[in-house]
Amino acid sequence: MIFPLGISVPVANPRDPAYQVSPGQGYDGVALILLPGGDNCTGSLLTTGQHILTAAHCFEEESQDGEPTREPDLGEIKVVFRLPGGELRMDPAHIDIHPTWDDLDGFNGDLAIIHLAEVLPAEVPRYELYRDADEVGQVFIRLGYGVMATGEQGEFGEDESMVLRRGQNRYEALGELYNEEDGEPESYIQPGKQLLYDYDSGRAENDALGIEYGLVDLGLGAQEIGSSGGDSGGPAFIDGKVAGLSSSGSSPDRDGIDVTIENDTSFGEYFFDTRVSAYADYIDQVVGGESYSSQSLETEVNQAEVDVSTTQGLPGELLSLPFVLALGGWGVMKLRFRRKLALQSRSQLSTESKER
C-alpha cells in the first residue's frame, strides 16, 4: 500500500498541536505543492516572491530508470499558500530541475525551482538562502506537509489532512559519510552536496549515528522530529534562512536501532537533506532570469563523474542492494541501502580466503 508521509513527532499523540503551524506564525511562505494522483510535496518561497524551492524527485515520472524527468508536466500541479485570510492557489509557469539530478539512489542534485505564473502579494513571507558552509553541528527548524507520524510507531497512513508541522533536529554530518567504499555507483552521494541527521528517541540504543559512526548525540528531546513523505522539498531553516531541502531517508544497517525495523520515519532512522549552500550559485542564476551557464554545468557534471569514479575499481563485490520505497508517489522517496548484506558477504569472502 502506498502512503504519503509527514513530519514525525517524538510524542505519542501524532496530532499534538504543539507541532502544528497555523497561518500567521511566520511560515506562510512554506507552500503545499499538490501533485498528480493526490500526492504532495513542500516548498519555500524565495525572495523574488515568484520562485519556490523544492526537491526534484517530487516531479519524477519513474524511479531509478536512469532517465530523470527534466520537463515535468505542469497540468495538475498547484502551489498552495495557507494565509490568515484563506488559501491562495497558484499555477506553475515553469519548473527548473537541477541539471545534475540523476533520479538514482544517491539522490544527487535533488533540487527544483518552480516559477509561479505571477508574483505573490507582499504579505506572504519570503526566505533567503543559507550560504555559509557551517551547517554541521547546527540545530535547524524543519517545516513540512504530510500525514501524521510518531517516532515510536512510524507513519499513520490513514490520515491525509496535510497539516503543516514543524520541529527541530541537528545536522550531524555531510551525506557522504554514509557512502560505502565499495558501494554501487548509483547509491553514491557526492561530497559536500547533502546534509545528514538521525532521528533520536533520547535512548542510546536508537542513536544511529552514534552507534554506526561514533557521532554520539541523543537528540533534542521533545523538539526532535523526523522527516519524510509530504515533507519532501520542505525547508530546514537556520537563522531564518533555507539551509536544507528534505530529500531522502534510510534505515541503519545494524538490527535494533530502528524501533519499527521498517523504513517509516520512526526513531533510529537516517535522513538526508539537499544542501542549499552547495547550490546557491545555481539558484541565484535561475531566479535571476539567467540560464545556468554551460560552463557551470560542465564543471558540476565533471565533478560528479570524478566523484562517482572513486567508487569504481575497488576491491570487493558490489553487493549493496538498495531497497526503495515510493511512499506517497513522488512526494517522497525513502531509501534503504542494504549495506549489511555487502558487509556480511565481504566477511564471508575474507573467511574463505583465510581458510584456503
For the chain, the domains span 8-293+316-340
- In this model, does residue 312 exceed pLDDT 50? no
- Rounded to the nearest 10°, the torsion over CA 128, 119, 143, 271 is -70
Closest alpha carbon to 265 in 205, 319, 195, 336: 336
| CA angle (286 as vertex; 281, 289 as ends), nearest 5 | 125
> 3-class DSSP state for residue 325?
strand
pLDDT for 105: 87
Percent of the chain with pLDDT over 70: 78
- In this model, does residue 177 exceed pLDDT 50? yes
User: Given 3.40.50.300, 2.40.50.140, 2.40.10.120, 2.60.40.1180, which CATH number is that of 8-293+316-340?
Assistant: 2.40.10.120
CA 96/CA 200 separation, integer angstroms: 35
Closest alpha carbon to 237 in 40, 25, 86, 84: 25
**Is the entire prediction scored with pTM above 0.95?**
no
pLDDT for 85: 95
- Rounded to the nearest 10°, the torsion over CA 237, 2, 188, 285 is -50
Would you tell me the crossing angle of helices 280-287 and 294-309 to the nearest 10 degrees? 150
CA 318/CA 300 separation, integer angstroms: 26
In the block, cell 537541477 appears at 98
Q: Identify the weakest region by mean pLDDT among 138-142, 212-216, 221-225, 287-291.
A: 287-291
Q: Which three cell numbers stand for residue 156?
A: 499513520
Any bridge partners for residue 336, and if so which?
A: 323
- In this model, does residue 296 exceed pLDDT 90? no
Q: Residue 263 in contact with residue 334, Cβ under 8 Å?
A: yes
Give residue 319's pLDDT band: very low, low, confident or very high (50, 70, 90).
Answer: very low
In the block, cell 539522490 appears at 107
User: CA separation (Å) from 327 to 14, 39, 334, 351?
Assistant: 19, 9, 7, 39
E-strand stretches of 49-128: 51-54, 78-83, 86-90, 92-97, 112-116
- In this model, does residue 271 exceed pLDDT 90? yes
C-alpha R_g of the chain: 20
- In this model, does residue 182 exceed pLDDT 80? no
